[in-house]
Structure 1
Amino acid sequence: MGKRKFNDEEVTDILKEHQAGATVSDVCQRYGISQPTFYRWHSLQLKDASLDAKRMRALELENQKLKKLLAKAITASMRVSVHHHLPEIRMVRPLRFAGYGPVVRC
Structure 2
Amino acid sequence: MRKSCFTEAQIIGMNKEQEAGMATAEVCRRHGLSLATFYKLKARYGGMEVSEAARLKALEDENSKLKRLLADTMLDNVVLKDLLGKN
Structure having greater relative contact order (Cα 8 Å, sep ≥ 6): 2
Select the structure that is richer in helix.
2
**With structure 1 as the length reference, what TM-score do the two structures score?**
0.41
- The TM-score with structure 2 as length reference comes to 0.49
Structure of larger gyration radius? 1
